[in-house]
Structures are given as C-alpha cells and as structure tokens.
Amino acid sequence: MLHTNNKIEYNPENCVGCQLCYKACFIDVIRWDAEKKQPIFKYVDECAHCRYCQAMCKKGCINVIIDYSAQSWRQSFDMYR
C-alpha cells in the first residue's frame, strides 16, 4: 500500500465530533481539529483502505473510495504469462 490513490469523502453535516474516525485510523492518516471539532484527512495518500473509520462513524459521514487499480502486490505477473 505505497502508491495508493484512495479518497475519503467526508460530509460534516451530520458529524457530532465524536473523534472515533480519528481514533480508528491505525496509520495516522486522520488527525483531529480540536477547534472545529472535525477530522482532518491529512495523509490520505497513505490510506490503506481498511475502512475502519467508515465503520466507526455512527452518523455515516465518511465514505472511503478505493482506487483498486492503483494497488499492487508487486508479483511479477507479466513475467510468467
């Protein structure tokens, strides 16, 4: 998950500032803006699309959009075909 191109859609309308999305991110992609009481999606280019933030959000504010084509297991498939 190095050169991913995933996106995180965030709809602040229903956000209650519970911080669960921030806590859920186990690789520090999401930070917390204490003043606005909202998440900051600071390092999205590192998002490994585990979707734990999305699962945690009780208000449905988050949608992780996965770019499957950007991923690679780095197996040299073409070498064998």
Q: Which residue number, 15 or 62, has a Cβ lying nearer to other proteins?
A: 62
Q: Work out whether 75 is an interface residue with other proteins (CB under 8 A).
A: yes
> 33: closest CA among 42, 43, 46, 24?
42
> 57: closest CA among 11, 1, 5?
11
3-state helix, strand, coil in the chain (%, to 5): 30, 20, 50
Residue 74 — left, alpha, or beta (φ > 0 → left; ψ -120 to 50 → alpha)? left
Q: Work out whether 65 is an interface residue with other proteins (CB under 8 A).
A: no
Shortest approach of other proteins to residue 13 CB, angstroms? Answer: 21
Among 33, 37, 55, 59, binds other proteins (CB under 8 A): 55
**Stretch 21-50 residues interacting with other proteins (CB under 8 A):** 22-28, 31, 42-43, 48-50
Binding residues for other proteins, rule: CB under 8 A, are: 1-3, 22-28, 31, 42-43, 48-52, 54-56, 68, 71, 73-77, 80-81
